[in-house]
Amino acid sequence: MFPRPLTPLTAPKGTEPLGRASRRNPLAAGRGRGGSGGPPLLLPSMLMFGVIVASSGLLLMIERGILAEMKPPPLHPHGKMDPVWRRVAAGSPEVLLDPGDPDHQVRQDVRNRTLRAVCGQPGMPRDPWDLPAGQRRTLFRHILVSDQYHFLYCYVPKVACSNWKRVLKVLAGALDSVDVRLKMDHRSDLVFLADLRPEEIRYRLQHYFKFLFVRDPVERLLSAYRNKFGEIREYQQRYGAEIVRRYRVGAGPSPAGDDVTFPEFLRYLVDEEPERMNEHWMPVYQLCQPCAVHYDFVGFYERLEADANQVLEWVRAPPTVRFPSRQAWYRPASPESLHYHLCNTPRALLQELLPKYILDFSLFAYPLPNVTREACRQ
């Protein structure tokens, strides 16, 4: 019924169980661990990730040039008997998501290959139970369950997760319409994988359709910064005041926290352990563990409506249920705003920050930001 998982469901036979030290996330080796005296972590080479990012970009450019010569296949009327639906229903791994968008097909292919390459490295988790208890708890708290439609959705804050939660509530009969304008309750009428017993979790991970949505990592950080520190008093008091105290000379003992600068926010992230971050800026890798959970589909925020409605078709949601359009008041971070904030951030600070999100860049085929002097003069 659904496309096959992006990676094998089980580890190769004969593989020895990973020790707890080797199970840890490669980016969790933050400050203060080097001298702990514990066994060394098995870290995938950062050079390998750099090569993957660079080669992914090169492959993308090469294949775009090749695909530019090709004419897309003719479009078919949308319906349950069109070629895409038949291939999904038959379980074919060669699902053509959008025959009119060859760039998107290339990006999907690059991402799938990168996921297989990175997740196949020694020391990477192959199952949620390979993870330390804290990371596994974070993962299960971010996976939403639909038993009626047999799917699992790993929600990522600042990647349209509120709208997806509306969809789940409508599918469960707890909400009449995705267009109802109510303040979102992010817990009620939702079932999380963490609510279930281990055997129930294992069954659903093995048999349900699993998906998540991702976004350019620095764009997601800018969105979180603008929303949480520009609009929400709770975040200004809880995080903003502490950030100003730490990183602003002469801040005083009781800053309001409502004027945090973007570089100050990034400096705070540099000093935070990824697995202990707030979910709104925690790396997607830490939230959804795409090596431990073998997702059947990873959608792009840049193609949100098309990819989301494709998922709803795959899970055979009622045709009356559609993914909600962005609200009229919503203003996403524009490329110009992102360019401005990055070019006004010290490059040395970005060099310290990006390794914490390198897996989000490499696994999901996002390019590293271009902050050269030439690019920032444009």
Q: In what order do the strands lie in the sheet with 209-214?
A: 143-146, 151-154, 209-214, 297-300
Torsion of CA 63, 64, 68, 73, to 10 degrees: 70
Number of Cβ within a 10 Å radius of residue 139: 21
Considering only 73-77, 138-142, 191-195, 245-249, which range has the smallest mean pLDDT? Answer: 73-77
Residue 130: per-residue pLDDT: 95
Q: Among candidates 251, 252, 265, 260, which has minimal Cα distance to 233?
A: 260
Residue 110: pLDDT band by 50, 70, 90 thresholds? confident
Pairing state of beta strands 297-300 and 209-214? parallel
Contact 333, 159 (CB under 8 A): no
**DSSP letter at 271?**
T
Are 285 and 359 spatial neighbours (Cβ–Cβ below 8 Å)? yes
HSE-up of 212 (CA within 13 Å, CB side)?
Answer: 25
Where do the structural domains in the chain lie, given as residue ranges? 101-364
Q: Six-digit token pair at 237? A: 């008091």
- Identify each DSSP E strand in the chain by its residue range: 143-146, 151-154, 209-214, 297-300
In this prediction the pTM is 0.76
CA–CA dist 94, 286 (Å, integer):
29
- Over its C-alpha atoms, the chain yields an Rg (Å, rounded) of 21
Q: Phi/psi at 210 (nearest 5 deg)? A: -120, 135
Confidence band for 330, pLDDT divided at 50, 70 and 90: low
Band of residue 62 on the pLDDT scale cut at 50, 70, 90: very low
Rounded mean pLDDT of the chain?
Answer: 78
**DSSP bridge partners of 146:** 151
When comparing pLDDT for 65 and 173, which is higher? Answer: 173
pLDDT surpassing 80 at residue 376? yes
Instruction: Answer whether 283's CB lies under 8 Å from 272's CB.
Output: no
